[in-house]
């Protein structure tokens, strides 16, 4: 079980990632999956997904609605849809549960099942083994992964801290993740080169809500290695390691729950990050 494993911290610092098989039990995975089914069953389609496009102005309002929906999702449980699954009235063109690409970004704070997983004793113990002194949870997401590939990126591009190296991702496979259904791929050791690209909040009045500063280098496909992992496995992801996932070419989904932790001791969270703590939800401590 997860308790006995002393994670090879050396391996994590060398590669920028660490695979811990069977960290969570099948029961824990199933409880997250059934909870997400309940959440999706009760889901309301957000207003910005429901307006029929007509004038340019309304289209801009819709984009604004969609960006506000994203920018203010840090302290809420919100739904992000695959492309082309809703008609302009907000009706589903495919089964509702296959329409959502992800749910974020505060499941860890407001949903009892995901909160319990995020703060589970095993996770807290792992944080202590990693030497985290004041870890706080900054965001969480449930990822359905029916189709989409995720291009190579570093999490610190989106969750920037001063100094760097203070962001850690916990990625939990709720089903077996294979090369066919879109497991994660990493470039080992790529967490030591800093970051070249950042996503920042755009100046108010800009046409988009966020913009990218800098550019993503061209990565050599041959450098990536796949990390298939079984249901219940945990992948620890250094904030600067380069990773991606390929298209899911299988018939099955690839559900995962992921959350990000920041070592808050001696760390500044960038005011330019899209995600900001709010008075309603300051970043909660990982340790309880």
> Is 283 contained in some domain?
no
pLDDT on residue 72: 94
* Contact yes or no for 48/65 (Cβ under 8 A): yes
> Is 274 contained in some domain?
no
> Is 275 contained in some domain?
no
Burial class (CB in 10 A: 0-12, 13-18, 19+), 272: middle
The number of beta carbons lying within 10 Å of the beta carbon of residue 168 is: 22
Please report, to the nearest 10 degrees, the dihedral formed by the alpha carbons of residues 188, 155, 36, 112 taken in order: 110
> Is 177 contained in some domain?
yes
pLDDT on residue 2: 46
Residue numbers of the domain that contains 104: 7-269
Burial class (CB in 10 A: 0-12, 13-18, 19+), 180: middle
> Is 277 contained in some domain?
no
Q: Name the percent of the chain in helix, strand, coil, to the closest 5.
A: 25, 25, 50
pLDDT on residue 4: 46
* Contact yes or no for 72/66 (Cβ under 8 A): no
Instruction: Per residue of the chain (288 residues), give pLDDT as tens.
Output: 444 445 578 999 999 999 999 999 999 999 999 999 999 999 999 988 887 767 888 888 888 889 999 999 999 999 999 888 999 899 999 998 889 999 999 999 999 999 999 999 999 999 999 999 999 999 999 999 877 789 999 999 999 999 999 999 999 999 999 999 999 999 999 999 999 999 999 887 777 789 999 998 999 999 999 999 999 999 999 999 999 999 898 988 899 999 999 999 999 999 999 999 999 999 999 999
Task: Say if pTM beats, i.e. exceeds, 0.85.
Answer: yes
Q: Which two tokens stand for residue 49?
A: 């997904």
pLDDT on residue 6: 55
> Is 55 contained in some domain?
yes
Give the CATH number of the domain where residue 226 resides. 2.60.120.620
> Is 145 contained in some domain?
yes
User: What are φ and ψ of residue 49, in 5° steps?
Assistant: -90, 0
> Is 144 contained in some domain?
yes
Domain count, the chain: 1
């Amino acid at each position: 079980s997860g308790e006995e494993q002393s994670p090879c911290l050396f391996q994590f610092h060398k590669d920028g990632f660490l695979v811990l098989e069977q960290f969570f039990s099948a029961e824990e995975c199933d409880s997250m999956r059934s909870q997400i089914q309940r959440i999706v069953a009760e889901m309301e389609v957000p207003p910005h997904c429901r307006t029929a496009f007509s004038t340019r102005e309304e289209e801009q309002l819709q984009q604004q609605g969609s960006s506000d929906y994203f920018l203010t999702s840090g302290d809420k449980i919100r739904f992000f849809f695959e492309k082309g699954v809703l008609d302009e009235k907000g009706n589903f063109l495919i089964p509702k549960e296959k329409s959502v690409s992800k749910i974020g970004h505060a499941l860890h704070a407001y949903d009892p099942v995901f909160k319990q997983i995020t703060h589970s004793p095993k996770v807290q113990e792992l944080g202590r083994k990693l030497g985290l002194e004041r870890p706080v949870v900054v965001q969480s997401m449930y990822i359905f992964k029916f189709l989409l590939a995720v291009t190579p990126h570093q999490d610190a591009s989106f969750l920037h801290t001063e100094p760097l190296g203070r962001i850690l991702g916990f990625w939990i496979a709720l089903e077996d993740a294979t090369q066919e259904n879109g497991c994660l791929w990493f470039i080992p050791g790529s967490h030591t080169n800093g970051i070249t690209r950042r996503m920042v909040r755009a100046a108010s009045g800009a046409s988009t809500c966020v913009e990218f500063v800098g550019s993503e280098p061209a990565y050599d496909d041959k450098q990536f290695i796949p990390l298939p992992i079984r249901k219940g496995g945990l992948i620890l992801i250094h904030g600067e390691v380069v990773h991606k996932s390929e298209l899911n070419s299988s018939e099955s989904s690839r559900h995962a729950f992921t959350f990000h932790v920041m070592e808050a001791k001696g760390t500044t969270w960038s005011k330019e990050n899209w995600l900001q703590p709010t008075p309603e939800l300051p970043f909660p401590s990982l340790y309880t």
